[in-house]
Chains A and B, each alone.
Chain A
Amino acid sequence: MFLSHIEISILYLHRDLKKEFIPIEVELFWQLKNITMRFPGVVALDDVSLDIYKGEIIGLIGENGSGKSTLIKCLSGINQPQKGEIYCQGEPVKLTNSALSQKLGVSTVYQEFSLVPTLTVTENIFLGRLLKDKKGFVDWRTMHEKTRSILDIMQIDIDQNAIIYNLSVAEQQLVEIAKGYTANGSLMILDEPTTALTAPEIKRLHKLLRKLASTGHTVIYISHRIDTIMEFVDRIAVLKNGRLAGIVNISEITMDEIVKMMSGRQITEHYPKQRNVQDEIILKVENLTTETGVNGVSFEIRKGEVFGLSGLLGSGRTEIARALFGVDKITGGKIYFKGKEVKFNNPQQAIEDRIAYITENRKTDGLFLNFNGPKNSTTARIKKLFKSKKLHILDLKKEFKSYDESNQQLVIEPTSEYKFVGFLSGGNQQKVVISRWLFAEADFFIMDEPTQGIDVGSRIEVYNLINKFTAAGKSVLLISSDHLELLSMSDTIGNLKFGKITSIVDARDAKEKNNTNSLYLESSNT
């Protein structure tokens, strides 16, 4: 149903949306006034003002890079805005560090977990504020009891003595939320709390948050899953390109209107999709099984096709990519690539067969921060720089030349020729990573969250590149948590759950039919 709304929303693009809202409770709690936050090259927040009332749940939504995370980082004291004021209960406050905002009752659950993996649940929940008894000793008994009771209230079935790294991603997320709850924050901020959770877990979480709100806690809830948000928030704030596109009572707005606010007029240009699927099958995976949790996965990818993998965090998306690329060991099944059976024991062999892997985390798995752009771009096939077949000396001029050439296609920031890549923007960094695989002459691209954390302009450039690839007969395996992106840019979508593909649908059908086999319902109806 969500999907059809997007389409309908396009029809209603020209209606003005700004509605007045009536606060649920009159007591003003936090106030953001004209917040402007600039990062080198981008304006992350542009004159954002937001009133937050006591006991309400605000849903904060917006596309990737719209400034959601930056806004909450301003509230939790990690970012200091260049302009604007923040008021807490009428008093102007300067949140210069996170300890200060914690003192004021802001507790934040981040997208990236901040748990210490080697400590227990209790230790993590009370990290930094251990309870002590009268003699000054750490009071483990009380802490364990408190943890237990919190976990019970939240109906989380986890042992308080469990070590974090033994827990599943979903369980870790619940512990993270329990931690925020225990901090007794009067303002709880949850950044994408549902990415790793199943539907019943999400329901339970919502119930809990509602309960908290009724006892005077205020919740800011960030998500890009509009339907889950609409189920239970009081007001919804929509950010778009760093500006507040609107804040409205949930009863006065429809999902269509929200989608329209989020994506604005250019929605059709946001996803410039070209269909270039050919008949020839390039990759055939049969019953792929790995130790990392991929459990009998089969699918085919054709020449020029974009095959989207949809599923929750930890459903096996990245694990499939790693297995295909020869990183993780394959324990069962077969892979046929370009007409012959292949078995990659390491990434070298996959790269030799012209496979590219653009990883989810650029900084940790992709970039060499000690290298400039050109050096980063050649690492996957250094051999190509040899002066000749016999003379194995690197030709550094060739390196610059090839970088210049790929730059004509990718339009990377020119200073990247000598700057360390750490100094580039996310979009430019991603393009440097892509240039590496162009240099390696890849014709099969595995892209794991290729547009995560990059600006809108670069995103569209990435989409255009995908089109260019498919037009040239190259294929793409696209992994993304951004459903819109996945739907719009894929030709075919495989739905993943618990390491298994539950259905494979044509992306066009998924848009039109929106019945049981549509991608969105797939992940929310469990």
Chain B
Amino acid sequence: MISRTAIAHLQEKLGATNVAYEKEDLLVLGYDATPGVHHLPEVAVFPTTMAAVLAAMEIALREGLPIVPRGSGTGLSGGSVPVKGGMVLCLNRMNRILEIDEENLTATCEAGVVTLDLFNATATKGLFYPPDPGSQKISTLGGNVMEDAGGLRGLKYGVTRDYVMALKCVLPDGSILTTGGKSVKDVAGYAFKDLLVGSEGTLGIITEVTVKLIPPPQAKRTFLAYFDDIRTAGAAVSKIIAAKIIPSTMEIMDRATINCVEDYVKIGLPRQMAALLLIEVDGHPAMVAEEAEGVEAILKAVKAAEIHVAKDAEEAAQLAAARRTALSALARVSPTTLLEDATVPRSMLAETFAEIERLTEKYRLKVGTFGHAGDGNLHPTVLCDERNAEEMQRAHAFYDDLYAKVLGWGGTVSGEHGIGLAKKEYLARQIGAGGVRVMKRIKDAFDPEGRLNPGKIFDEHDPCTRAHVEEGFRVSH
């Protein structure tokens, strides 16, 4: 347990309002959007400057506290959950956009800047920051980088990693590591930047991010296609890709998802349809016209039940916004939403849908599936009740079987949510014991004492970690 002196010290260095240690504050800083994982930290700090980050980390290390970075707590794998207690380092008050460099097409900001705020700030300068995770209205850049967040535009524009040019981070020994820069090319030594992206706070605490910006597309066309069979929708996606058309967005929702989303947004989505695809092509007007024609021809060829074109940008934005609510809207039907992030090579989409259907029946579950179909990244979500242990067991068996298939097809256990606490076992299955050993050696090189976000990505064979995860809630004082 943290000492009174240490708290006084933190208050002195960070300011009293930037240190939280009352139970009611700690209780609400020990979760993210991952179901079933909730742990109490011993203290939480809200640094507003680099100096404050350094001071907080120094005190944590002196007190022997693990350090867990947190943005807005919207993660979907438990990355920011303080599974071993310690200090939660909240970066959301470091939220200044430091520079938008119109000559180099970059933006530099503190880790706590909200993703959508950066998007809007760059848009006013006629520039475009594409990564748009579902939680973009509140997720932070630092969190996006740590989990390598994706979004609706991943298909054409890639994910957060593809835009990170430079990072400033603090290592546990108090040294500051700056990696990358505004140069478009950089092959100087090991790519630390690429190691840090997606490292979930286990290697360093990121305080500043420089991202690449691009010119926005001049034109867009948005389609909404309905299907009687979800496998037909899968086939449409594979055919569009095979026709060498890369839409910016190709999103899928199944019937359960359509109905939950419609319950919330009330914009007239087709409740009776088996699936819908939201497809957007963008770019130069001539190219958009050509690609739109190609997309429409394929949708007709596979016999989509209905094909609609958004009448204006406002309607297109409304549809994308509706899609972003899918996961939270699914939570309307059941107290617990167990969501996964399986990603397969796109040619395997139709098979994946068939497998999800088969397993849903086998394990007698209610499943809503949505996701970034164009990326082969699906979010089959089991709608269950955490109070029903037997149902939870079936849900886990569902994912076990599904992941076995996904890995057999050369897919991955996480497309964009990260491993965190939720998928450690699956990761070990994917990369093998040898892979995990190499990851641990990398971790040792950055954080030899294991202070940064312990218990994440892989197990350290510390029996405590497992016990805490299963317990679900640890009260440390």
The reply to whether chain A is a binding partner of chain B is: no
What residues make up the interface of A, taking CB atoms closer than 8 Å to B? Answer: none
